[in-house]
Structure 1
Amino acid sequence: MPIVEHLKYNHKTKLFTLFICSLFFLSASEFSFAQKKTYTIVLDAGHGGHDPGNIGNGYREKNIALKVALEVGKIIGKEKDIKVVFTRKKDVFIELWKRGSVANRIKADLFVSIHCDSHTTNAYGIGTFVLGARGNRQNLEIAKRENSVILLEKDYKQNYNYDPNSPESVIGLSLLQEENLDRSLQLASLIQNNLVTKLNRHNRYVKMDNFQVLRETIMPSVLVELGFLTNKKEGRFLNSRSGQQAMAKNIASSIVSFVNQLKINTVDVVSVDKYPVVVEPKDVVQTTQVEYKIQIASSRKKIATKAYNFKGLKDVESIKVGRFYKYYYGKTTNYKNIQSLLKRVKKKGYRSAFIAAFKDGEKISVKQALKTR
């Protein structure tokens, strides 16, 4: 039976909705439309211990990454609604899988890994990375494995109303991945833009790659390459106290901005006696009409939406979001149709393309869109 047909049935819709909540191991009673009070951010300083990272010009990546991570944590830790967790706070070696496991275990909202780059040439500049399509396939298996521990809990059916082996669960995880990728790109763009424009660093852009440390997490995650230690000028800057503080300040402000954006998308909850009342933002117009599109690219450069620029795809739409242009293909209110379009787009070579949902012209998560059906 097609996915859309599954969701038409009330009991399936209820299972799907509760599953999304249970991804974060919350019981139905604990979720209860509760507004999020604290956002947990995991900061990961790359390398450590017997692993120095790259040692361009005699500088040690592990030391620089740690100092910047600790400074970022110090800054954002002052925010009343942000909780900071470090994968390491001193010079110790932590396996890559354990770094992601820390974030998964505490149900973190965000994972940021900090590194320094190297090259055989005199390359320089800032680069920020999110998980590429190949890694997302492995990431899905990790998410399924992380959730399977629910089966070991006593009375898990009463607590979660969720079967990790059901088709609906796999569907839910896939949708969550799409949302995580979008949010990862959102944060990566904030960090990249701040470091480039405010510190006048060379722009190596936001990119997708298959980093192991990003594959191990099941929440929005980014990896920041602060610059190249193999470049004498850049290495000297990154090894300086002033350089590390400047980097940390701008990464921290990007994270705070990202969290503030998350707050905007969270409905407020006002308790009346013991029953929660959901208060929608005043400017939101209630409607059940949702449109789906395929996001195929994102760039700071405006590209003419001609078919020859997009591998033969016609009627590509360009929307400017901040300093970036996002390019969308297709428009439909039918989720099954957009899934077919996504397959077509990926065959064209856009392997990292994903489904985006819009309501009243505003972007919403796919899982929110499906709930309105």
Structure 2
Amino acid sequence: MSAAQSKFVVVIDAGHGGKDPGAVRNGLKEKDITLSVALKLGEMIKANHPKVKVLYTRDKDVFVGLQARSDFANRHKASLFISVHVNSASPSARGTETYVLGLNKQASNLAVAMRENEVMLLEDDYKTTYRGFNPKSTESYIMFDLMQDAYINSSIEFANLVERQYSRLGKPSRGVRQAALWVLSQSAMPSVLTEIGFISNNSDQSYLKSPEGHREIARALSKAFSQYYKRQTATPKESNRSEESKSEGSADSTDTDDSMADSSEPTEPKEPHHEATRVEQPNSTSPEGRSYRIQFMALSKAIDTKDKRFAKLGKPIRRIKDGERYLYTCGDTESLAEARKLRKQIAKQYKDCFIVEYRSGKRIGRVQ
């Protein structure tokens, strides 16, 4: 985001509220914890970043529907949506996990999605609002398999920053995960839902009950936001320096948790290993061997480059294996101007795609 662009707006969403208490244990209610953390987070962001506009989906104990939360963020043209929740499962489960949109059929991820989406049943005429979606039916979740989150890269980038900050608190991080969460699917901006602990676990419950625990969680989220905001508002020169530090393997590079089975990497990845194999070879290079491609996705599993999801891109897709993940690029041109045009075209479907420079088939790095 450049200085010429509109003001950065972050919408903080305190999960549940009003007639919906969320998870409850020993008199402790999720809705109270999330509101406390959300308000503290907002104040920290305001103090650290006066130019950022902070908005809340709720700032008191009131019920707000899932669709209304997304609509609020969309209406205010939010730059980032952060939904704060508390987890609940077996007494042995503990730690944090942060979700981005996606259909992951892993039982634990689906259980979280069902529990969080079930709130819509408390709304009047929910069948009309949610177009017949039944949060209790596994069949209803098939629709998410066809959804393409245009902001997946940025969402995962922020989610990784969040989980890294949680880990620095000494809290067990269960990583970044994907789930079919309605509130994320309807938000037209990078969005995450973060579960800050298990109310069903004695250790986590004690932490979630304490005001200091609330402050620590809010502080971790605030630090993650500061890192993300700095990257999003960096000048091209600053971005290039950041990319160089990442390619050198700095501690601040972004990692994807193994629990995330079908996700895109958020930031410029480290250089692919020499043994990486390309599905298709470059077909356009300058006399100096320079060419430009558009990276639009990185996944932990291989997808056929002729998959129907790529049909609208209208250009050959290349898949490169980079360690445990696969990088996907589109196009191959020796003209940077043409690459910029192509990036704008692809950005209609993949908002945070970017240009990557290659020389003689070797990846050089991201181009601003």
- State TM-score, norm by structure 2: 0.59
Question: Considering only aligned residues, what root-mean-square deviation do their CA atoms show, in Å?
Answer: 3.7
1:187 matched to 2:124? The reply is no
Which of residues 29, 32, 46 is equivalent to 1:77?
46
Which of residues 114, 122, 127 is equivalent to 2:92?
122
Q: Partners in 2 of 1:215 and 1:179 — Cα distance?
A: 10
Aligned residue identity for 1:72: L
Which of residues 159, 169, 172 is equivalent to 1:202?
172
Cα displacement (A) at 1:82: 0.9
Contact 1:56 1:118 in 2 (8 A): no
* 1:241 counterpart residue number: 211
Q: Percent identity?
A: 30
Aligned residue identity for 1:244: H
- Describe the SS at the equivalent of 1:189: helix
Contact 1:130 1:209 in 2 (8 A): yes
* 1:57 counterpart residue number: 26
* 1:93 counterpart residue number: 63
1:296 matched to 2:295? The reply is no
Contact 1:42 1:111 in 2 (8 A): yes
- Describe the SS at the equivalent of 1:333: strand
The structure-2 alpha-carbon separation of the partners of 1:34 and 1:204, relative to structure 1 and needing over 3 Å to count, comes to closer
Cα displacement (A) at 1:223: 0.3
Which of residues 318, 322, 335 is equivalent to 1:318?
322
Contact 2:85 2:193 in 1 (8 A): yes
Aligned residue identity for 1:74: E
Deviation string 1:221-278 (CA, Å, 9 cap, x unpaired) is: 000000100001101101101101000001011011101100126689xxxxxxxxxx
Q: Partners in 1 of 2:73 and 2:63 — Cα distance?
A: 17
* 1:212 counterpart residue number: 182
Deviation string 1:302-339 (CA, Å, 9 cap, x unpaired) is: xxxxxxx85899974327xxxxx7532567517xxxxx
Gaps of 5+ in 2: 105-147, 244-289, 306-317, 334-349, 358-363
Q: Partners in 2 of 1:94 and 1:185 — Cα distance?
A: 26
1:48 matched to 2:17? The reply is yes
* 2:194 counterpart residue number: 224
The structure-2 alpha-carbon separation of the partners of 1:317 and 1:84, relative to structure 1 and needing over 3 Å to count, comes to same
Aligned residue identity for 1:251: L
* 2:310 counterpart residue number: none
The structure-2 alpha-carbon separation of the partners of 1:266 and 1:180, relative to structure 1 and needing over 3 Å to count, comes to farther
Q: In the comparison of the two structures, how many residue pairs are matched? A: 246
Q: Partners in 2 of 1:86 and 1:214 — Cα distance?
A: 16
Contact 1:292 1:355 in 2 (8 A): no
The structure-2 alpha-carbon separation of the partners of 1:359 and 1:43, relative to structure 1 and needing over 3 Å to count, comes to same
Cα displacement (A) at 1:288: 7.6
* 2:355 counterpart residue number: 358
Contact 2:95 2:196 in 1 (8 A): yes
Cα displacement (A) at 1:100: 0.7
Aligned residue identity for 1:333: D
- Describe the SS at the equivalent of 1:76: helix
Which of residues 75, 84, 105 is equivalent to 2:75?
105
The structure-2 alpha-carbon separation of the partners of 1:228 and 1:131, relative to structure 1 and needing over 3 Å to count, comes to same
The structure-2 alpha-carbon separation of the partners of 1:76 and 1:294, relative to structure 1 and needing over 3 Å to count, comes to closer
- Describe the SS at the equivalent of 1:243: helix
Q: Partners in 2 of 1:120 and 1:289 — Cα distance?
A: 50
Q: Partners in 1 of 2:8 and 2:242 — Cα distance?
A: 25
Aligned residue identity for 1:230: S
The structure-2 alpha-carbon separation of the partners of 1:239 and 1:230, relative to structure 1 and needing over 3 Å to count, comes to same
1:39 matched to 2:8? The reply is yes
Greater helix content: 1
Q: Partners in 1 of 2:223 and 2:93 — Cα distance?
A: 26
Contact 1:37 1:81 in 2 (8 A): no
Q: Partners in 1 of 2:352 and 2:52 — Cα distance?
A: 29
Q: Partners in 1 of 2:196 and 2:45 — Cα distance?
A: 18
